Amino acid sequence: MREVRVKVRKKGQITLPAEIRRAWGISEGSELILLYDERKAIIKPIKEIKVREYSGALGSPEEDEVLFSIIDPELIPLYFKEKYKG
């Protein structure tokens, strides 16, 4: 894992170095996930795939699942909690 220093600007903004933007394939408007606790933060890109390209084994996807974000396993329970309000 590499370390890169960035400065926080007004309104809490940071600029991701071009090397990281290229490596992650992100541009203006891309979304990132920020995981944090009291001591550290981790920023990860959200990559979208079309569910229809990978579905079929469990049946047809619902319309709200056609674009599915690949997320970390620890975030999957949050997704289902929000989706099924349970």
b/e map of 35-67 (b: 16 or more CB within 10 Å)?
Answer: eeeeeeeeeebeeeeeeeeeeeeeeebeeeeee
Q: Please report the pLDDT score of residue 48 as a whole number.
A: 66
Sorting pLDDT into bands at 50, 70 and 90, what band is 1?
Answer: confident
Q: What is the per-residue pLDDT across 24-67, written as a single tens digit (0 to 9) for each? A: 889 999 889 898 999 888 898 887 666 556 555 555 655 555 44
pLDDT at 82 over 90: no
One-letter amino acid at 85 equals K
When comparing pLDDT for 79 and 54, which is higher?
79
Q: What does pTM read for this prediction?
A: 0.53
Q: Where are the domains of the chain?
A: 10-84
